[in-house]
A and B are shown apart, each in its own frame.
Chain A
Amino acid sequence: AQSVTQPDIHITVSEGASLELRCNYSYGATPYLFWYVQSPGQGLQLLLKYFSGDTLVQGIKGFEAEFKRSQSSFNLRKPSVHWSDAAEYFCAVGYNNNDMRFGAGTRLTVKP
């Protein structure tokens, strides 16, 4: 069955520092891949997605992610974190079966 792993439960970075959040998926075929962000008390907002083409995808709020088939990974990056980026980040996978599965989430704390 499809699954997705986010190895880091909680990450703390200083404002202005770079960020990388890890995501690995397990399944044979190449899935649709997504990153969502959830601010406290809010719903999930789509940051970016990959389903084909260029393996480096750009999203909103200055985020990007790179799909690496050999590593079954889809890590999220941002070159310079802002205090407003503090939130919960979820990686998700789908296989065109209306059954998107989410990782456990990574909570990002930004130090001033």
Chain B
Amino acid sequence: DTAVSQTPKYLVTQMGNDKSIKCEQNLGHDTMYWYKQDSKKFLKIMFSYNNKELIINETVPNRFSPKSPDKAHLNLHINSLELGDSAVYFCASSQEEAYGYTFGSGTRLTVV
């Protein structure tokens, strides 16, 4: 009964590969997000989706593509992985921003 679940928790892959991270929320929230946390713990928003529609697309390489098959799921696909993509990726969801976001436990991506 986890509220926001991400899979996998750890992902180790070689440069140049394509990988996906999945996120699901069972809270009935309308908006979902992807954040990237770098090695210095800095959190940067990448994308936000409201009811399956992209509403924020920060300056991220177009190798990153979010996909939302329904409002409970927001997956992140990454093409041609680079060393600099190594980070922890967090999925989150919210119903109204004033009440805060609920975060998943993160996916630690290591590109070797």
Contacts and interface: CB of A to CB of B under 8 A. Distances in A.
Range of interface residues on B (Cβ < 8 Å)? 20 to 34
Contacts of B94: 98
Contacts of A99: 45, 48, 56
Contacts, number: 58
B103 interface: yes
A96 B101 CA distance: 12
B97 A96 contact: yes
Interface residues of A, number: 24
A43 B105 contact: yes
A44 B101 CA distance: 9
B50 to A, nearest CB: 6
Interface string B72-112: 00000000000000000010101001111111111000000
B43 interface: yes
Interface string A88-112: 1010001011111110110100000
Secondary structure dominating the interface of B = strand
Contacts of B99: 49
30 contacts: A32-B97, A34-B100, A36-B103, A42-B105, A43-B4, A43-B90, A43-B103, A43-B105, A44-B92, A44-B101, A44-B103, A45-B103, A46-B101, A46-B102, A49-B98, A49-B99, A96-B98, A97-B97, A98-B31, A98-B33, A98-B56, A99-B48, A99-B56, A100-B97, A101-B45, A104-B40, A104-B42, A105-B41, A105-B42, A107-B41
